[in-house]
Structure 1
Amino acid sequence: MQRLAGKTALVTGASRGIGRSIAMRLAADGAIVAVHYGSSAAAANEVVRAIEAQGGRAIAIGARLDTTTGAMGLMKAAQSSLLPLAGSGKLDILINNAGIGTSSAFEATTEEELDRLLAVNVKAPFFLVQQALPFLNEGGRIVNISSGVTRIAYPHIMAYNVTKGAINTFTLHLAQLLGPRGITVNAVLPGIVDTDANASWLHTPEGQAHASSMSALGRVGQPSDIADVVAFLVSADGRWVTGQMVDATGGSHL
């Protein structure tokens, strides 16, 4: 059963990793999906082809999110290319997944690096939601991809952690603001997930053993593990869940 039939969804950072998996899952559930990419049009178009091969509908939209102008422009692009595909001309689902990380220690983090992290991980979702408000359907869904580092002490990537803490706060207050419109807002907090971003250290016996040992379930997370949680939250089954930080770390550091 296609639980999201006729719904429109915009997934940022959907050309690879967790975002790709979310886009694929929402399309499989019937949504018309805008696959956002920052730099790789080829990768985004490959996701669109994969969705279409499974009988779904999708388009690719490019926009840089390291500037406020780019974030605002993304919603304008969605308005002109995604929303007309739905009868309502409205956006039903917004997934703020795009983000960047850092490997810099706290002592070595520069102002320039922190500014870029804040721009992509915090300012972009903030202004994208702001621009989306007039187009969000009553009863719509917003899911922000945060991180499990917001509930554990992991100071090795301090600057990144700070941005995800901001996303949790944003989620909480946005849920209260949009509640009267029936719009739910939640954050999903992944742990270590097997994506391209982690491949350099995770695809080694030592990396696998280390990452698996952190989880109570004894394995490394997969993008589909996160996508399935998002799929629940944006479906009718998730209608009574809002303002929550949903831990999807596989029980890391319990």
Structure 2
Amino acid sequence: MARTVIVTGGGTGIGRAITAAFAESGDSVIITGRRREPIEAAAAEEGAGVRAAVCDGTDPEQVGAFADGLPERVDVLVNCAGGNTDYDREQARDLATLAANWRANMDANLVTAVLMTEAVRDRLTGGGSVISIGSIAADKGSGPYGVAKAALASWNVYESGRLGPRGVTANVVAPGYIDDTEFFRDGLSEERREQLIGMTRTGRAGTPDEVAATVHFLASGSARQITAQVLAVNGGAHPTR
């Protein structure tokens, strides 16, 4: 039976690959994002089983309105919206800007997941899954983005306790360096790319499809006893290396 799957940030990069993985399984997928063009393009490419809904996951009113239009049953929620907002903001030169930059990362990477999960909670059913996209940065002491992802992992443990009695699992998938995404805004130097690859045991970057496959597994019937976990997809890269 086709499941109802929500993928926030499902129009590009890892989110786009996750959308494709569930669509290929015959699931009904709803993708959200702040930018209309990429999510509508992704929905059009995948076909009738995927639809797009513009929604800023940091805005409680937009999240609430989105949830009001959902089917009564939601089987899988993938919290993929987020990213390092420092790449889009000016460097902090005073306390006000510093506070704004930290809050932007927390909003994008933690608050989006908290709001969307709460908004669809009553629709999540036994055998369902909530899967959030974390980062290797959570364990690297790498500033506001890493701290936000660390907070996401802690929240996931808390959330798993709330969802468990309903038969719903909650996990985090934490990628390392992944090729073919917008994460670095085309600002990654070849030297830095080689450094990131050199930290892995596999000698290569990961792919969005590999992250998507892990997410898809965690939402499957074979993963019903896996919850409150962070699963790394990083080629064996050690966070402190």
Q: Is the 8 A contact 1:201 1:207 kept in 2?
A: no
The residue that corresponds to 1:186 in the other structure is 171
Query: Structure 1 stretches of 5 or more lacking a match?
Result: 84-88
Q: 1:198 maps to what in 2?
A: 184
**Secondary structure class of the residue paired with 2:184:** helix
1:174 deviates by 1.0
Match of 2:148 in 1: 163
TM-score by length of 1: 0.85
Give the alignment of 1:62-141 within 5 angstroms: 62-77=54-69, 79=70, 83=71, 89-101=72-84, 102-103=86-87, 110-141=98-129
Asked if the contact 2:140–2:146 (Cα under 8 Å) also holds between the matched residues in 1, the reply is no
Query: For the residues of structure 2 that align with 1:144 and 1:205, how far apart are their CA atoms?
Result: 29
Could you tell me how far apart the structure 2 residues matched to 1:37 and 1:188 are? 19
Q: Is the 8 A contact 1:106 1:159 kept in 2?
A: no
Distance 2:57 2:208 in 1: 22
Kindly state the Cα deviation for residue 97 of structure 1 after the two structures are TM-superposed: 0.5
Amino acid at match of 2:75: D
Offset at residue 11 of structure 1 (A): 0.2
Deviation at 1:240, TM superposition (A): 1.3
Q: CA deviation at 1:106?
A: 8.3
Percent identical residues: 25
Q: Deviations over 1:8-65 (max 9, x none)?
A: 00000011010000011011112100011212x221122112212xxx6110011112
Conserved in 1, the CA contact under 8 Å of 2:6 and 2:30? Answer: yes
Alpha-carbon contact 1:67-1:120 (below 8 Å) kept: no
Corresponding pairs, count? 233
In structure 2, runs of 5+ residues without a counterpart are none
For 1:28, which of 20, 24, 27 is the aligned residue?
24
Number of the residue aligned with 2:211: 226
Deviations 1:80-108 (A, max 9, x none): xxx2xxxxx30000000000312477887
The offset of 1:180, in angstroms, is 1.3
Partner of 1:235: 220
| Partner SS state of residue 204, structure 2 | coil
Is the Cα–Cα contact under 8 Å of residues 37 and 63 in structure 1 kept in the other structure?
yes
CA distance in 1, matches of 2:44, 2:75: 22
Separation of aligned partners in 1, 2:101 and 2:65: 23
CA contact (8 A) 2:135 2:149 kept: yes
More displaced stretch, 221-230 vs 122-131: 122-131
Would you say the 8 A contact 2:131–2:172 is kept in 1? yes
1:57 corresponds to 2:49 = yes
Equivalent residues in 2 for 1:8-19 (5 A)? 8-19=4-15
For the residue of structure 1 that corresponds to 2:41, the secondary structure is helix
CA contact (8 A) 2:217 2:223 kept: yes
* 1:44 equivalenced with 2:30 (yes/no): no
The SS at the match of 2:201 is: coil
Q: TM-score, normalised by structure 2?
A: 0.89
